[in-house]
Structure 1
Amino acid sequence: MVREADFVKKNRSSLSHKISFAVKNPGKVPRYARRLARDTWLKWRTGDDHLAYYAAVMKSDTARNPEAAVGSQTHGRWVALGKMQFTYLKKHGLVPSQTMLEIGCGNLRAGRLFIEYLDTGNYSGIDISRDILKAARRTLAEYGIEAKRPSLSLVSDNRFSAFPDAAFDVIHAHSVYSHCPINVIEECFVHVGRILKPSGHFDFTFDRTEGEEHQVLNEDFYYRTETLVALAEKHGLKAEFMQDWEELKHNQSKIRITHPA
């Protein structure tokens, strides 16, 4: 049974939550208002293409601070979250000979560790943001890992058309689909099974709610676990809620996708 964690109890889109937050955090209200204005403008400019909209969000955020753009407000937090992701997958059997795709690789917060650990040429990273990929290449140079020949590619959808069938042992997406509406997640599920090896697994984090599914600022999307499990099964995939990730007390939950036995 999935246990409810403290971070899944609030509907952040509700008026009562917004009022309560404003009363408790008056100093954050101006920042929220500026973000609301910016996101409204970007949404109007990009229309119904959510990935184009979020690429514009990333462009704006990366210009200020690439580490904050991927969700780390301090460098120490950037290092810690990267290590958390790496340690978790290594604990779950990641070995250097395996091939790995990181969806939404960002500026290689975890990717730098995967690249260093995996055999040369075994890491591929994709992202919808040209700007954050420039930051990723700076990370490669800073940590001296260009010789491991990672592949970093700009994409505009979730079809993975650049990759052959059964290309990857491990596919990983951290804090990617937590920013996506359900149609974008479904596009991933339609295509990800093709590039995943029969024995491989695809891990992704999501913002979990046990109440009404909702979104905030078109940036953060909250789903019930059963919604995502059913969607994966609709497309012939097996989905498992990862309780041991929950115990790490990260503020997102994790689901593992595999091929049915």
Structure 2
Amino acid sequence: MANKSLRRRLEAGLAPSLKAALPAPLQWPFRMLWRLTNRVLNEWSDVALYLSLAWYRLLGRPYIKWYADTLDRWAAAGRDEDCVKWRRAHLADSGQEDLAILVAAGMKPHHTLHEFGVGQLRSAKWFIQYLDKGNFSGNDSSRERIKNGTDIFGPEIEPKAPTLIVNEDNTFDWLNGKKVDYIWCHAVIGHMPKQDVEDLIRDVRKIMHKDTVFLFTHDEPDHLPPGWTHARMDSRNFWYSLAFFRDLATKYGYAVDNVTELLDDKPSFRSYFRLAKLMLK
């Protein structure tokens, strides 16, 4: 998080100021040097993440625990005044497109929604405000990320009585048998290893009734090798194709469809995001 915080400050102020102060012939070399510095920071950061993940594995701790602890450290470290200001502005201006997608998929205020991976409530704040009181629940493995969100949006969302859960597994047992009408999961599966994703798909039926719609994004680049259905990119980023989810749907008794067209004209969704809809057969 220290690298992230430093980089954010440089990108926001110092780096552009230095570049503008340089003579024109030196601006291009400065830009190349800045990109190289970013690349080195990213590579070293990922080596450190792999080493910490290996240590957790050695101790017999699951990936979800490692990822939650990693996110907790980053979230807790980003509470200086500059980071809080940046986060407040960033979170306040994003998330509406997630709500627009669910509304386009048929969600109404009287429906119930569970968000798997609420993070810092970027999207959840819009869901909560749209839905009737008590109709939103969400979970995240990172307690500190939820805290960052509630510190900012608490007064806005508390009157709607949302349920926010810190989960230590993907079993959905922590919802105590509750069934919901819609499930949303954005930019989460791309940070989960293959077995964790399979566990999620297997167990999500615990909170589904016959008409429940589960919408989730997955990262699927155009350059996956032929025949590949998934790939690990680094310590915490994974690609999954629709074929991967079709195989799981067949295995566990679901119907799955590609509904990526719902992402059209949604600039906050990156080009490699795909949107899938999962329902019980």
- TM category, shorter: 0.7 to 0.9
2:172 is equivalent to residue 186 of structure 1: no
Letter in 1 for 2:170: N
Relative to 1, partners in 2 of residues 1:146 and 1:170: Cα closer, same or farther, differing over 3 Å? same
Q: How does 1:53-202 map to 2 (within 5 A)?
A: 53-65=66-78, 78-141=91-154, 143-165=155-177, 167-202=179-214
Identity %: 23
2:39 to 25, 29, 34: 29
For residue 157 of structure 1, give the secondary structure of its aligned residue in structure 2.
coil
Quick one: higher RCO (CA 8 Å, sep 6+), 1 or 2?
Answer: 1
2:237 is equivalent to residue 220 of structure 1: yes
Is contact 1:112-1:139 (8 Å) kept? no
| 79-88 vs 196-205, greater mean Cα deviation | 79-88
2:63 to 32, 41, 50: 50
| Equivalent in the alignment of 2:25 | none
Between the aligned partners of 1:65 and 1:256, the Cα distance in structure 2 is 34
Unaligned runs of 5+ residues in structure 2 are: 1-31, 80-85
For residue 164 of structure 2, give the secondary structure of its aligned residue in structure 1.
strand
TM-score, normalising length: structure 1:
0.81
Shift of 1:166: 5.9
Shift of 1:221: 0.2
For residue 25 of structure 1, give the secondary structure of its aligned residue in structure 2.
helix
Shift of 1:246: 4.3
Shift of 1:123: 0.5
Between the aligned partners of 1:196 and 1:23, the Cα distance in structure 2 is 51
**Which has more helix, going by share of residues?**
2
2:218 is equivalent to residue 206 of structure 1: yes
Between the aligned partners of 1:179 and 1:246, the Cα distance in structure 2 is 20
Is contact 1:121-1:148 (8 Å) kept? yes
Between the aligned partners of 2:248 and 2:77, the Cα distance in structure 1 is 36
| Equivalent in the alignment of 1:255 | 276
TM-score, normalising length: structure 2:
0.75
Shift of 1:61: 2.4
Residues 45-70 of structure 1: CA distance to partner in whole angstroms, max 9, x if unpaired?
3216111121122123213448xxxx
Relative to 1, partners in 2 of residues 1:60 and 1:166: Cα closer, same or farther, differing over 3 Å? closer
Residues 78-135 of structure 1: CA distance to partner in whole angstroms, max 9, x if unpaired?
4454111011111221111111111111111000011111111111010111111211
Shift of 1:37: 3.1
Is contact 1:108-1:139 (8 Å) kept? no
Is contact 2:101-2:263 (8 Å) kept? no
Between the aligned partners of 1:162 and 1:156, the Cα distance in structure 2 is 9
Between the aligned partners of 1:243 and 1:114, the Cα distance in structure 2 is 20
Q: Which has the larger radius of gyration?
A: 2
Shift of 1:39: 0.5
Relative to 1, partners in 2 of residues 1:111 and 1:237: Cα closer, same or farther, differing over 3 Å? same
Unaligned runs of 5+ residues in structure 1 are: 1-21, 67-72
For residue 162 of structure 1, give the secondary structure of its aligned residue in structure 2.
helix
